[in-house]
Amino acid sequence: MIKEKRIALRNIGNYNPGSIDEYLKLGGYKNVERALKINPDEIIETIIKSNLRGRGGAGFPTGLKLKFTTQAFGDQKYVICNADEGEPGTFKDRIIMEMDPHLLIEGMIISAYSIGASKAFIYIRGEYTESIDSMKFALNQASEKGFVGDNIFNSGFSLDIEIKLGAGSYLCGEELALLESLEGKRGYPRIKPPFPAEKGLLGMPTLINNVETFAHIPYIIEKGADHYKSLGTEKSSGTKIFTISGDVKRPGYYETEMGVTLRQLIYEFAGGIKDNKKFYAAILGGAAGTFVDESVLDTSMGYETLKDKGAVLGSGAIMVMSEGRSVFDMTHSILKFFMHESCGKCVPCRIGTVQLLQIMDEAKNNNKDKKEILNKLLNESEYMAATSLCPLGQSPILPIKSIKQFFENQF
């Protein structure tokens, strides 16, 4: 029987998130104290060596991001925590913020110190009211204890952290749209390059990481890069939180080493398929993710291994569908979602997302040949992927292509 290995979730349930004193008894903020005695460059080297990759979905090496931000020129550097969790089927960041807010703060302080940033923001989606309250409370407590603010642990390093709210835009989880939103504008994506590490918030070098990514950093400081790298697989080191939902007996959040198989996640952690039914499909990585069939059940869950199979790891969301569910209906729902969330700035996405849905609606009403419909969808989404400005317009091709690959005859 496979076991959980908790890093980002390691304190969950071990302390009352409203009490910083209980957190301190667990050794809280010790890793910040430890880190502030280390040379910042050494911290960055450690993170690079650990092979930690961004847990928000894109999987970019975190250490490199730190390095690029450090090397960029700017009077002021910023750290931003992307807590605009909105990918359907994903709720890992919410769990961390509600149940272990101090771990996130620790990860942010260490990161800010390593790149020389004195100002940080946590951008939380507006609907996450409990996360917002929890983070506000924890931040106040951390400030009162002197862990956030001036001259932290007498190191001479100071950091101010502020909470900013989103207001119902999925797109603002995309880092450049998030920057626009944080600057008090409509959440439109920017053209990249320049990347945020070079020119981010207010044109200054900015480090943007997902909540879960920050939550790994204190652990790496504590245990060292070699230990962290020994977890997981060679190319996908460490652990990952998987949020499993849909037709399983025990839906929920599970953190385990990368390299676990989808079968283990669904049948061991989540207890298997509900109502004695058979597994039919799973959607990995959310709406901007991929459908897979049972041929992927024994694939190791890692960035590259899934890519080889035509799937993605993404945010770690796993939406499970049992026999009797319809891939067509699910696709319809996903395409409706993209249409609603398209910001309208660039033409291919604004028009493309509408056309994709029209193709689906036509198919529904006219009972057209499904294979022809699928080819139309694929063609359209390929144009969008090639010409859209940001990941939203580039995403519909992911589920559509995966249907072509795995469910062409059942669409």
Partner 1 sequence: MDKNSIISKFKPDNDNLLNILHELQNTNPNNYLSTDDLKLVAKYLNTTYSSVYGVVKYYSMFSLKPRGKYVIRVCKSPLCHMIDGNGLIEHIKQNIGIGLGETTNDHVFSVEASECIGHCDEAPVIMINDKVYKGLDSEKIKEIFQGIKSNQ
Indicate the residue among 6 and 274 with the shorter CB distance to partner 1: 274
The piece of 217-225, 249-257, 348-356, 381-389 that touches partner 1 (CB under 8 A) is: 249-257
Cis peptide bond prior to 218, omega within 30° of 0: no
Q: Which of 25, 227, 340, 364 contacts partner 1 by CB under 8 A?
A: 340
> Is residue 117 at the binding interface for partner 1, with CB under 8 A as the rule?
no
Q: Give residue for tokens 């990347």.
A: 195
Indicate the residue among 104 and 321 with the shorter CB distance to partner 1: 321
Question: What is the size of the binding site for partner 1 (CB under 8 A)?
Answer: 48
Q: Which of 70, 85, 217, 305 contacts partner 1 by CB under 8 A?
A: 85
DSSP 121: E
> Is residue 321 at the binding interface for partner 1, with CB under 8 A as the rule?
yes
Instruction: Render the burial of 96-118: b for 16+ CB within 10 Å, e for the rest.
Output: bbbbbbbbbbbbbbbbbbbbebe
Q: Which of 115, 138, 311, 330 contacts partner 1 by CB under 8 A?
A: 330
Query: CB of 168: closest distance to partner 1 in angstroms?
Result: 4
Query: CB of 169: closest distance to partner 1 in angstroms?
Result: 6
C-alpha distances (whole Å) from 66 to each of 109, 203, 236, 249, 258 are: 13, 17, 18, 40, 23
Among 225, 214, 186, CA closest to 79 = 214
Q: What size, in residues, is the chain?
A: 411
Binding string, residues 191-230; x marks residues near partner 1 by CB under 8 A:
----------------------------------------
Give 282's strand partners.
292, 320
Query: CA angle at residue 89 from 244 to 48, to 5 degrees?
Result: 85
d(CA 49, CA 44): 9
Indicate the residue among 108 and 132 with the shorter CB distance to partner 1: 132
Q: Which of 101, 187, 218, 396 contacts partner 1 by CB under 8 A?
A: 187
> Is residue 287 at the binding interface for partner 1, with CB under 8 A as the rule?
yes
d(CA 32, CA 8): 16
Indicate the residue among 233 and 255 with the shorter CB distance to partner 1: 255
Query: CB of 112: closest distance to partner 1 in angstroms?
Result: 17
> Is residue 18 at the binding interface for partner 1, with CB under 8 A as the rule?
no
Could you give the dihedral angle defined by the CA atoms of residues 176, 180, 183 and 185, in that order, rounded to the nearest 10 degrees? -170
Binding-site ranges for partner 1 (CB under 8 A): 85-91, 94, 126-130, 164-170, 181-187, 243-246, 251-253, 283, 287, 317, 319, 321, 325, 329-330, 333-334, 337, 340-341, 343
